[in-house]
């Protein structure tokens, strides 16, 4: 049996409703070599070297077809589709901006979408036996948004910069919630908060610095 975790869902509509979603508890990780070991167990009639070669070819051939604009379906598993978007440092254009702002050289493959085969889901469900696990509530800040902004401004006056991790710890929020709040402040000129750097090197500063 495998445990499921009940988690509190963020109240994004601010209607004071506490809702939950469920997540299967991860008990470990199975890599390619472990899968190959299971697939080539005694009596399977499969050879490890051959299975490795097939998996390697599957990766190469699939990437080639995805790069040419094909959707790749693997029966019993699902369908893969390449996803494109603007390269780093390029803004997302409006629908009617035309071709003067965005050229093909500013776009790249940014990921792969996966649509699972319904039969694959049914097969997993038929093998899965669930049991109740823990309940996890959201980590909520004890401060109001106004108080958090005051504390942030006070901190930046003394320390010049603050990272996402530092802010989340300071105001008692999860990193994802803290990130959304900081980005909202940056987008609001009246907050006096700006950002510098990108991704892991991003810090937040006072706008007049």
The reported pLDDT for the residue numbered 122 is 96
β-pair type (72-74, 78-86) = antiparallel
Q: How far apart are the first and last CA of the chain?
A: 56
b/e 47-65 (16+ beta carbons within 10 angstroms → b): eeeebeeeeeeeeeeeeee
The reported pLDDT for the residue numbered 17 is 66
Q: What is the pLDDT of residues 14-30, one digit of tens each?
A: 566 667 889 999 999 99
| Percent of the chain as helix, strand, coil, to the nearest 5 | 40, 25, 35
Q: Which domains does the chain have, with CATH numbers?
A: 2-134 (4.10.520.10), 145-206 (1.10.10.10)
**Is 0.85 surpassed by the pTM of this model?**
no
Task: Judge whether residue 112 has pLDDT over 70.
Answer: yes
Q: Pull the structure tokens for residue 102.
A: 């965005």
The Cα–Cα gap between 74 and 66 comes to 13
């Amino acid at each position: 049996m495998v445990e499921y975790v009940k988690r509190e869902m963020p109240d994004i509509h601010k209607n004071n409703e506490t809702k939950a979603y469920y997540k299967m508890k991860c008990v470990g990780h199975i890599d390619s070599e472990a899968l190959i070991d299971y697939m080539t167990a005694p009596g399977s009639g499969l050879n490890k070297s051959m299975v490795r070669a097939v998996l390697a070819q599957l990766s190469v051939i699939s990437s080639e077809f995805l790069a040419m604009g094909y959707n790749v379906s693997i029966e019993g598993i699902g369908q893969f589709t390449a996803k494109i978007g603007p390269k780093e440092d390029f803004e997302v254009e409006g629908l009617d901006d035309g071709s003067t702002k965005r050229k093909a050289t500013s776009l790249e493959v940014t990921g792969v979408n996966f649509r699972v085969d319904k039969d694959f889901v049914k097969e997993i469900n038929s093998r899965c036996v669930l049991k109740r696990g823990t309940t996890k509530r959201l980590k909520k800040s004890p401060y109001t948004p106004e108080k958090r902004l005051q504390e942030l401004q006070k901190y930046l006056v003394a320390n010049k910069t603050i990272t996402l991790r530092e802010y989340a710890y300071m105001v008692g929020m999860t990193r994802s919630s803290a990130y959304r709040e900081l980005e909202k402040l940056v987008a609001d000129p009246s907050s006096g908060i700006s950002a510098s750097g990108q991704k892991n090197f991003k810090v937040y500063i006072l706008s007049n610095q």
